[in-house]
Amino acid sequence: MRLKLLLMGACLLLATTLSHAQSTASNGRKVLKGKIEMKTLMNDSSFAWFYAGVNKYQPNENMLNYIKDNRGKFTVVAIIGTWDDESRRLLPALYKILILAGSPDEQIITYGADEKLQTGVQVGYQTKKVPTFIIVRDGKELGRLSTDLQDTLEGDIARILLKANRKDKD
């Protein structure tokens, strides 16, 4: 009996930890707030755009190779809006880049925000728009990316990593 209660309590705790708030945006799209797991985006038909975007995006091989060479040296904190067109375009591209670079799921931490940019959890990073991708190494922010990319998403990630690596050598 005690074991059943303990297991049930652990399951409830896990479910609470992994849950996220859902609502509907003014454009009728499903809004996820809080931490979002890739499997949620892959398995919910409301987010078919994610699966389609991952399959469609073709990153630049040269930039991808640089990211691959540095894959263990950074984490990406992604703050997105599941209701936002740019988030729907760039988040699948980010996942595709890091999947092809061989990066583990733990390397991307994704938070959903509502239309007021509220995530419902303490993220630790201020954002003024979605999507915002924050490149972090050892708890320090190396750089941010949003919709105003200089090049491609993978090119801008590689540029941030290159700059940080040069700084480390100085």
User: What CA–CA distance (Å, rounded) separates 21 from 3?
Assistant: 30
- Region 73-90 average pLDDT: 97
CATH number assigned to the domain covering 22-169: 3.40.30.10
- Give this prediction's pTM: 0.85
User: What CA–CA distance (Å, rounded) separates 145 from 101?
Assistant: 18
**For residue range 7-59, what is the model confidence (pLDDT) as tens digits?**
444 443 344 334 457 888 888 899 999 999 999 999 999 999 999 999 999 99
Write the single-letter amino acid at 132: T
User: What CA–CA distance (Å, rounded) separates 91 from 79?
Assistant: 9
Closest C-alpha to 135, from 126, 144, 122, 127: 144
User: Which residues sit opposite 108 in a β-bridge?
Assistant: 76
